[in-house]
Amino acid sequence: MLVRCWAEQSRRVVARIAATPDSGVHALPFLHRALLLPLLSAASAALRLSRLLSSSSSLYCPRHALPVPVVSVGNLTWGGNGKTPMVDFLARSFHNISVSPLLLTRGYSGGDESRMLRRRLSDTSAIIGVGANRAAVAASILHKYQIGVAILDDGMQHRRLLRDCDIVMVNALTPWGNTHLIPRGPMREPLTAITRAHIVVIHHAHLVSEAQLKTITSTIKDNGATCPVFFSKLVPSHIFEVNQPLQRLPLHVLHGMIVLCVSAIGCPDAFVRSVKEIGPLKTERLDFSDHHFFSAHDVQLIQDTLKKLVYQHKNDAVVLVTEKDYDRDPDALRMLDAKVWVLSSCLQIIPLEEQGDDEFMRKVREIISASRHAKLQRARA
Ligand X SMILES: *[C@@H]1O[C@H](CO)[C@@H](O)[C@H](O)[C@H]1NC(C)=O
Residues that bind ligand X (CB under 6 A): 75, 78-81, 83-84, 89, 92-93, 96, 188, 266, 357
Least gap, CB of 74 to ligand X (angstroms):
8
Amino acid at residue number 2: L
Least gap, CB of 126 to ligand X (angstroms):
12
122, 123, 157, 271, 363 from 119: Cα distances, Å: 5, 8, 26, 20, 28
Least gap, CB of 43 to ligand X (angstroms):
14
Pick 20 or 84: Cβ nearer ligand X: 84
Rounded Cα gap, residues 378 and 370, in angstroms? 12
Pick 83 or 204: Cβ nearer ligand X: 83
Least gap, CB of 76 to ligand X (angstroms):
8
Rounded Cα gap, residues 98 and 36, in angstroms? 52
Pick 267 or 278: Cβ nearer ligand X: 267
Rounded Cα gap, residues 326 and 263, in angstroms? 9
Pick 78 or 341: Cβ nearer ligand X: 78
Contacts of 284 (CB under 8 A, 6+ apart): 258, 259, 260, 261, 305, 309
Give the angle 352-362-355 at the CA atoms, nearest 5°.
5
Rounded Cα gap, residues 224 and 212, in angstroms? 19
At residue 342, the 3 state secondary structure works out as strand
At residue 47, the 3 state secondary structure works out as helix
Least gap, CB of 290 to ligand X (angstroms):
7
16, 23, 25, 98, 109 from 178: Cα distances, Å: 10, 9, 10, 42, 24
- The one-character DSSP state at 172 is T
Pick 334 or 362: Cβ nearer ligand X: 362
Rounded Cα gap, residues 125 and 141, in angstroms? 13
Which DSSP string corresponds to 173-242?
TSSSTTSPBTTTSSBSS-GGGGGG-SEEEEETGGGS-HHHHHHHHHHHHHTT--S-EEEEEEEEEEEEET
Pick 163 or 319: Cβ nearer ligand X: 163
Pick 80 or 280: Cβ nearer ligand X: 80
Least gap, CB of 194 to ligand X (angstroms):
15
Least gap, CB of 357 to ligand X (angstroms):
6
Per the DSSP assignment, residues forming a β-bridge with 255 are 280
Least gap, CB of 113 to ligand X (angstroms):
7
Least gap, CB of 157 to ligand X (angstroms):
8
Pick 163 or 188: Cβ nearer ligand X: 188
Task: Output helix, strand, coil percentages for the chain, rounded to the nearest 5.
Answer: 45, 25, 30
Pick 68 or 90: Cβ nearer ligand X: 90
